[in-house]
Amino acid sequence: MADEEKAALKKAAGLSGGKDKCQVRVKGRERNYWMGTEIGMLGGYRFQGQVTAGDGSDKKGKMGAGYNNLRRKKKKQ
């Protein structure tokens, strides 16, 4: 690995930005990836209701909690 590549990786690792928001795209070129994930193979992305998941994390000795709620947008009639 070249020194300039190492420097770029070191710089990127030191950045303190927020989390990227996960965007699931089940159409187009990302479809095969998402449909091959565990939830994709279980039919979760074709599910017409709501899917909610939670998790916990430990940061600097303090517990944090997070969740994600995947809802289908209702079609206007």
Residue 11 located in a structural domain: no
Flag whether 54 is in a domain.
yes
For the chain, list the strands marked E by DSSP: 50-59, 62-71
Decide if 58 is inside a domain.
yes
pTM for the whole thing? 0.41
Which domain covers residue 59, as residue numbers? 22-67
Q: Is residue 17 one of the residues assigned to a domain?
A: no
Of 70, 63, 22, the residue nearest 46 (C-alpha): 70
Helix (H, G, I), strand (E, B) or coil at 26: coil
pLDDT of the residue at 37: 92
* Residue 45 token pair: 């992305």
Number of H helices, E strands in the chain: 3, 2
For residue 31, how many other CB atoms are within 10 A of its CB? 13
Query: What's the pLDDT tens digit per position in 19-72?
Result: 677 778 888 888 999 999 998 898 888 777 776 777 777 777 777 777 777 666
13 domain residue, yes or no: no
Number of folded domains in the chain? 1
Angstrom distance (rounded) from CA 70 to CA 52: 6
